[in-house]
Structure 1
Amino acid sequence: MGDDGRLKLVRRPATMPCLSHELILWKILVRLPTKSLLRLRCVCKAWRDIISGADPSFSQAHLHHLHQQDKKPYSLLIAPRMKCKSDVEEDPRNTTTRPCTEMMVTSPGLYLWEESRRDVATLLFDISSFPGEGAATRRHGLAHCDGLVLLPAEDAVRVLNPATRQIRVLPSSPNSAPPGRCPEGEGHQAFGFGRDHRSNAYKVARFFHRETRGMGGGLGMEVFTVGKDQRWRETAAQPPYPFVAGLMATFFKGSLIWTIDHCSPMYDYSHLDDVGHMPCFVRFNLEDESFSVMKGPPWYQGADYLDTNFAELNGELAMPHPGPNSELVEIWMCDDVEGNNPTRWNQRLVLDYPFSMRLIATFNDEIVYQDTLDYLWRRTRKGDKAMARMNVLRYYNPDMGTLVEYSWRTVKRFDVIFYVPNLVRI
């Protein structure tokens, strides 16, 4: 910029060396945020091909740098799950709330919440047009792994990358159809999603009931490897116990952790002398697709599985538990899931919090969790701090330029998952 305010073109001296394409790629571009890389695709064809996934090693190197960052930004995906018609309290005096109809979608989309914009969540991926989104009880929760999101329903399974706008609809399976006598509750299936650390392949696993009674051959597990398989394939071994239908498995260190359904008519623990020693969870290794049984914390007896959840906190598997006086929440953690020894759980933290919570993730050593009132909180060294209240957030649609709110009158619950935007190709 010259003294007169005009932009001047400065020529590079002939002796100044040029940065090679490889140096720019592997030393500079690989360290940039995903959003910046997506904008740089228009610079040249070479950059477009690399960033768009022509070389998978670049996206893996970029993912590695994201995980190695000392300070990670808060980034969450929020999916409002709408009430169906029977869930809405219709008030004729309220003219601002439109009651849900039977055709209203379960969730209008995936919204990105970032700490830099605390009171606004931005629509990242519109899922309102997906078939099957009209039945509020048929879609399962969300799962995230390395920037990819699993969005399963009873009759349709999708894997998508919200950052790159890629979507993969997995082929149908005869096991997605409910058996003649389907267990009551959330259907007959449970899903999981994660990465096989040996092959770096992403796998979707589906547990399903073949029958509702009888122990012989009534349980099944099938796997779909994204980018490789053309159809679902059943595992060589069947699950040792029935899992809770509709409850998403937790991905942890190369395995999926499933919760055993002790109330299932297909579960028989009459042979156990001590109910406290009953198996509680099953670990499904994504590398060799084998099963192993896990015990829960000493207080866990399988009766309150719907009120508990897993999360990975600083490399350990964590589970919350209400304290004895209902004014505290204990955090129990396990770090030896991969070992051959019996699983050991230890109480690590006690939070001064009087409500039940759902653990989400850790950000820079701060625990992020969701309460029953749709607040998002983070636990810092100085105590609990509210991040956002989801039913009063403004939800922005950049394509329409509109802001909406999803209040308690129209939303049954908010599904929230930890999210890291990435370039992984599906």
Structure 2
Amino acid sequence: MAEAARSVSARANRGLPYEIVIWEILVRLPPKALLRCRAVCRAWHHATSAHDFLLAHHAHQPVLPVAFSRDVGYPSIVTFDHRAADAQLQRVTRLENRVCGLYYSCDGLLLLCSHDTTGTYFCICNPATRQSARLPIVSGYVILGMYRHHPTGEYRVLMYLENQEINGKDACYIFTLGSVQVQPPRNIGWQPEAKEVYCSSGQPVLLRGSLHCPSEQREIGSNNIVVFDTSTELFRQMRAPVAPVAPRYNALFEMDRVLGMYICSDGVTIIDIWMLLDYENEVWTFKCKIALPVTEINMMCGMLEGSRYAVVVPGNGELLVLVKFAGWLLQVDMDGKLVATFHRKEVFPTQLQLKQTLVPHAFFQH
């Protein structure tokens, strides 16, 4: 058996040095293909299971926009691969609970909210390895964000608890994933800016060791961003670009280590893109205005008018605009041209992105 394995390995590596095969070819494969390659021989299985290899493999994976699908009974996590010659939707994993919502994404991990006969609960999952773990967080907490705490390498969840009888006041909490002994969420006290994050519908963006979340613009000139420093565990506010009129909604994104914001007009016909090129002085620069091809979209979908929802996410060095309208998911480029269409009634774009990983985590082993 050992001789046969060495023979297979020799044929597989014929003409190529072992290091090239491992660190230039296998390290670039998608997770599913890499897992299949482990069956070729013991040498490949050993090399591709090492921690340093898995970190390098994760670094080579593309960052793809995430959509949430309900068109096949059980909900699914879907990625939009715009790099292919023909843009395509790819189902990453199907969720086991019909009542499930997608909250956050971090380093290939997804934070989900589900419901069963015991009530509402949160769970963490890795769609590449199909591992999941239920979080011991009691009902009543509102999750504001998930992040990797770089000084310790821990994955943490920032939570908010409204006025409850147990303590008589609002408070913020930190829950650490994968503690050796499961500890209750740690109370970091009450900070008024947390209420702004709680009321916001936008996804937080992790940049420079801080979570950034847009606050709701109640009047012209009042637009701000709430920032949570993951090291000091303190909130603060920073300036955001101000829309000339109250927007339908706005959201943040990060591209090339620069914070950006897109502002959708009422009716979602115009999207303004701003970039925070001077972070320290909080100076925003207007990047572009995208006019959605509303007439073309309406005609293609066979509708005169309807509710539109758009998200702007980075992808391969460029910004992607994904629009949900009627039973269609549409991609629009920065010039406002329709470049890809998918007739998927129950597929909804999100602000989340997924960079798949096979790196093991201790919290999946409890």
TM-score scaled by length of structure 1: 0.62
Q: 2:225 aligns with which of 281, 284, 303?
A: 281
**In the alignment, which residue of structure 2 is the partner of 1:418?**
353
**In the alignment, which residue of structure 2 is the partner of 1:222?**
174
Distance (Å, rounded) in 2 between the aligned partners of 1:287 and 1:51: 33
Paired residue type of 1:36 = A
Distance (Å, rounded) in 2 between the aligned partners of 1:296 and 1:64: 31
Paired residue type of 2:201 = L
Residue aligned with 2:251, SS: coil
2:211 corresponds to 1:256: yes
Distance (Å, rounded) in 1 between the aligned partners of 2:134 and 2:348: 25
Root-mean-square deviation (CA, aligned residues, Å) is 4.1
**In the alignment, which residue of structure 2 is the partner of 1:180?**
none
2:105 corresponds to 1:144: yes
- Structure scoring higher RCO (CA < 8 A, sep ≥ 6) equals 1
Paired residue type of 1:255 = S
**Per the alignment, do residues 114 and 330 of structure 1 end up closer, same or farther by CA in structure 2, a change over 3 Å counting?**
closer
Q: 2:147 aligns with which of 186, 194, 219?
A: 194
2:75 corresponds to 1:108: yes
- Higher-Rg structure is 1
**In the alignment, which residue of structure 1 is the partner of 2:67?**
78
2:330 corresponds to 1:376: yes
Structure whose residues are more often strand by fraction: 2
Residue aligned with 1:362, SS: strand
Residue aligned with 2:68, SS: strand
Paired residue type of 1:379 = D
Structure 1 position 368, deviation (Å): 1.0
Query: How many residues of Structure 1 are paired with residues of Structure 2 in the alignment?
Result: 326
**In the alignment, which residue of structure 2 is the partner of 1:59?**
54
**In the alignment, which residue of structure 2 is the partner of 1:209?**
162
* C-alpha contact (below 8 Å) 2:68/2:102 kept by paired residues: no
Distance (Å, rounded) in 1 between the aligned partners of 2:27 and 2:146: 26
Distance (Å, rounded) in 2 between the aligned partners of 1:387 and 1:229: 49
Distance (Å, rounded) in 2 between the aligned partners of 1:283 and 1:358: 24
Gaps of 5+ in 2: 1-6, 295-307, 362-366
Matches for 1:96-135 after TM superposition, within 5 Å: 108-115=75-82, 116=84, 118=86, 121-127=89-95, 129-130=96-97, 133-134=98-99
The CA deviation string for residues 95-140 of structure 1, in whole angstroms up to 9 with x for no partner, is xxxxxxxxx97x521234434485864433121x32xx43xxxx55
Distance (Å, rounded) in 2 between the aligned partners of 1:262 and 1:121: 33
Paired residue type of 1:240 = P
Q: 1:35 aligns with which of 32, 46, 65?
A: 32
TM-score scaled by length of structure 2: 0.71
Distance (Å, rounded) in 1 between the aligned partners of 2:292 and 2:59: 35
Paired residue type of 1:423 = L
Paired residue type of 2:191 = P
Distance (Å, rounded) in 1 between the aligned partners of 2:268 and 2:76: 35
Matches for 1:319-398 after TM superposition, within 5 Å: 319-322=261-264, 328-337=270-279, 339=280, 341=281, 343-353=282-292, 358-373=310-325, 374-379=328-333, 384-389=337-342, 392-393=343-344
Distance (Å, rounded) in 1 between the aligned partners of 2:332 and 2:317: 10
* C-alpha contact (below 8 Å) 1:190/1:207 kept by paired residues: yes
The CA deviation string for residues 168-203 of structure 1, in whole angstroms up to 9 with x for no partner, is 221223xx33xxxxxxxxxx7243123334444333
Paired residue type of 1:157 = F
**Per the alignment, do residues 326 and 24 of structure 1 end up closer, same or farther by CA in structure 2, a change over 3 Å counting?**
closer
**Per the alignment, do residues 45 and 418 of structure 1 end up closer, same or farther by CA in structure 2, a change over 3 Å counting?**
same
**In the alignment, which residue of structure 2 is the partner of 1:298?**
242
Matches for 1:236-275 after TM superposition, within 5 Å: 236-241=188-193, 242=195, 243-245=197-199, 247=201, 249-253=203-207, 254-260=209-215
Gaps of 5+ in 1: 1-8, 67-71, 83-103, 178-187, 264-274, 394-406
Distance (Å, rounded) in 2 between the aligned partners of 1:249 and 1:326: 18
Distance (Å, rounded) in 2 between the aligned partners of 1:57 and 1:366: 29
Paired residue type of 2:130 = R
Structure whose residues are more often helix by fraction: 2
* C-alpha contact (below 8 Å) 1:193/1:249 kept by paired residues: no
**Per the alignment, do residues 195 and 388 of structure 1 end up closer, same or farther by CA in structure 2, a change over 3 Å counting?**
farther
Structure 1 position 79, deviation (Å): 1.3
